[in-house]
Amino acid sequence: MVRGRVQQLLLGLTATATLVVGMTGMGAATATADEVVATVPAGDAPSWVAISPDGTRAYVANAGNSSVSVIDTGTNSLIDTVAVGRDAEGVAVSPDGSRVYVTSTGDDTLSVIDTGTNAVIDTVTVDSPYGVAVSPDGSRAYVTARTDNTVVVIDTTTNSIVDTIPVGSVPEWLAVTPDGSRVYVATEGDGSVWVIDTTTDTVSNTIPVWGQPFAVAIAPDGSRVYVTNFADNSVSVISTATDTPTANIPVGEDPFGVSITPDGSRVYVANFGDNSVSVINTATHTVIDTVLVGVGPYSVANTPDGSHAYATNRLQGSVSVF
């Protein structure tokens, strides 16, 4: 279940949204610009999306029907649906592509899916889990526990909790630096980004940002962190060298999910309130394009080759490909 202002936005827009499912051409396509080339049906209220390391699969957590949709990115078609815990929200794929981790806020679980069989092979009990990220070496999964205001550290070999780290109020999403040394956590309730030292599993810094931060993406070279501020309709840029904000970029209405291309040149922002995705040039920190997608875009992820992005449309039950 989504808390705070995020919950109010979801409930309000769900009640008033006209769900017009404009299905564009299904199947593989080549995008010459940032435009939707396919719309893929997902489950009810799709939340987060993650792409496999080899780029062949997109995994979508569906909060409304407690499942994960498995999408073949070659054909842009739904090929499987995996039942998980209630109110599935977060999803992350291990670096080797063998496991998918799914948070379910309704029954306080983290489901572990074997991607070879698309079956749940284990569950870990975590209080009010939401965001999930996996370390670059695959040895740890980091999960935000929103009610407890903590980040839970899970050993992925044993699928057991090995540490719990106190952070700020209402931790939402988080991301691990490419070298695995730090985790950046957006905490909606206190308007900050918390920095965790993964060597000691302790907080090393707290960074105030604009509005209410929700999601985090880190540049491939680890130099910058991009944070969506959904109350301020902006994206904060943080230098990891100093852990200070260096820019604040206006985007669309109610920005939630954020991703970055593998070459670090573009940042994509899912704007829940105006059904669009903002495209940011990271060299100039300006929006250079706006892509109209489905109703209530909530998250976005880029393929490993940077050719396409996948955005979940929470109020439409679909995924836009562009």
Position 3, amino acid: R
> Cβ contacts of residue 48 below 8 Å, gap of 6+?
60, 61, 89, 90, 91, 257, 298, 299, 312
Give the Cα separation of 241 and 235 in Å (integer).
Answer: 18
- Dihedral sign of CA atoms 241, 309, 319, 122 in order: negative
> Cβ contacts of residue 114 below 8 Å, gap of 6+?
98, 99, 120, 121
Domain ranges for the chain, please list them: 4-321
- CATH assignment, 4-321: 2.130.10.10
**The overall pTM is greater than 0.85:** yes
Position 257, amino acid: G
Give the Cα separation of 140 and 123 in Å (integer).
Answer: 15
| Residue-wise burial string across 245-255, b where 16 or more C-beta atoms lie within 10 A, e elsewhere | beebbebbebb
Give the Cα separation of 72 and 56 in Å (integer).
Answer: 6
Position 259, amino acid: S
Tens of pLDDT along the chain (322 residues)? 344 555 555 555 544 443 333 333 333 333 346 899 999 999 999 999 999 999 999 999 999 999 999 999 999 999 999 999 999 999 999 999 999 999 999 999 999 999 999 999 999 999 999 999 999 999 999 999 999 999 999 999 999 999 999 999 999 999 999 999 999 999 999 999 999 999 999 999 999 998 899 999 999 999 999 999 999 999 999 999 999 999 999 999 999 999 999 999 999 999 999 999 999 999 999 999 999 999 999 999 999 999 999 999 999 999 999 9
Contact between residue 249 and residue 280 where contact means Cβ atoms under 8 Å apart: yes
